[in-house]
Amino acid sequence: MTADPNAPTPTLPLSAEQLLTTTRAVRKRLDFDRPVPRALLRECVEAALQAPSGSNRWAMQFVIVTDPERRRALADVYRAGYALYREMDGVYIGSVDKGDEELNRQQQRTARSADHLAENMHRAPALVVACAPGRAEGDVAPIRKTTLLGSVLPGMWSFMLAARLRGLGTAWTTVHLFKEQDAADVLGIPNDAVTMGALTPVAFTKGTDFRPALRPDPDSVIHWDRW
Ligand SMILES: Cc1cc2nc3c(=O)[nH]c(=O)nc-3n(C[C@H](O)[C@H](O)[C@H](O)COP(=O)(O)O)c2cc1C
């Protein structure tokens, strides 16, 4: 029996609340050996395009790398950026002291997982880079910077939520931007005209049971009526 090409994509039975609270940065549970159909990646981009964008300009572009050699080249740039990041005391995820034993344990687990991703990034069946057409640097109005990335990053998060719904794992990453020109060169991106937002690996996850993580009490971050 052949599969019905018009059948809807199977999605996980998650409530909206579960989707929002269990979409984790997946690094150690990415199944590098299972191919990801292009149709699924396209569906995630379709969801991303429903996100807000400044002046409704839909100013988001996605470079989706599946070619193994290019994945390897991009992952090499990522690793070079990660090596710099790892030396940054107080910035590197494993050097941040949360001032609490349980939180520090979670932080160290995340650091090991980030190290693991850096070593294995090239093995993900797809690497996706969200881009904003334009640059907003130097002496430009702050609103231009906010609008530029603000028109792409919500879409990227929607991409990740849509991926999770389809059994795919993602992890928001940025350290390739320490070597921005090198990353742009690998991808053929005109670095003077396009801003790269985030890079994520995409792969099916090993298991689909992800849980909410430790987070601050909402009252500690809310400023009612004024800062
Ligand atoms: C702006 C930003 C940059 C990030 N850069 C990286 C990165 O370069 N590498 C990485 O492994 N994770 C990166 N992360 C992922 C964070 O480590 C992750 O979101 C955080 O630890 C929470 O993980 P959790 O959702 O699994 O709890 C980044 C996240 C954000 C929002």
Write the pLDDT tens digit of every residue in 141-179: 999 999 999 999 999 999 999 999 999 999 999 999 999
133 in a structural domain: yes
Residue 146 is which amino acid? T
CA of 24 to the centre of ligand 1 (A): 9
CA of 4 to the centre of ligand 1 (A): 37
110 lines ligand 1 (CB under 6 A): yes
Nearest CA to ligand 1 atom 15: 172
The answer to whether 36 touches 203, Cβ cutoff 8 Å, is yes
Task: Give CA–CA dist 104/94, Å, rounded.
Answer: 9
**Nearest CA among 58, 16, 62 for reference residue 161:** 16
The answer to whether 167 touches 205, Cβ cutoff 8 Å, is yes
2: confidence class by pLDDT, cuts 50, 70, 90: low
Write the pLDDT tens digit of every residue in 83-125: 999 999 999 999 999 888 988 898 899 999 999 999 999 999 9
Residue 104 is which amino acid? N
Query: Which of 93, 119, 172 should be mutated for ligand 1, with most atoms under 8 A from CB?
Result: 172
Nearest CA to ligand 1 atom 7: 173
Domain that holds residue 74: 30-85+124-207
117 lines ligand 1 (CB under 6 A): yes
- For residue 190, the domain's CATH number is 3.40.109.10
158 lines ligand 1 (CB under 6 A): no
Nearest atom in ligand 1 to the alpha carbon of residue 110 is 21
23 in a structural domain: no
Nearest CA to ligand 1 atom 22: 25
DSSP annotation of 25 reads B
Q: Is 85 left (phi over 0), alpha (psi -120 to 50) or beta?
A: alpha
Coil/strand/helix, residue 167: coil
CA of 93 to the centre of ligand 1 (A): 9
The answer to whether 222 touches 147, Cβ cutoff 8 Å, is no
10 in a structural domain: no
pLDDT score for 180: 96
Number of domains in the chain: 1
115 in a structural domain: no
Task: Give CA–CA dist 152/160, Å, rounded.
Answer: 13
pLDDT score for 38: 97
Exposed (0-12), middle (13-18) or buried (19+): which is 87, by Cβ within 10 Å? exposed
Strands 194-205 and 30-31: antiparallel
214 in a structural domain: no
214 lines ligand 1 (CB under 6 A): no
CA of 160 to the centre of ligand 1 (A): 13
Mean pLDDT score of the chain = 95
Task: Give CA–CA dist 189/206, Å, rounded.
Answer: 32
46 in a structural domain: yes
Q: What are phi and psi of 27, to 5 degrees?
A: -130, -45
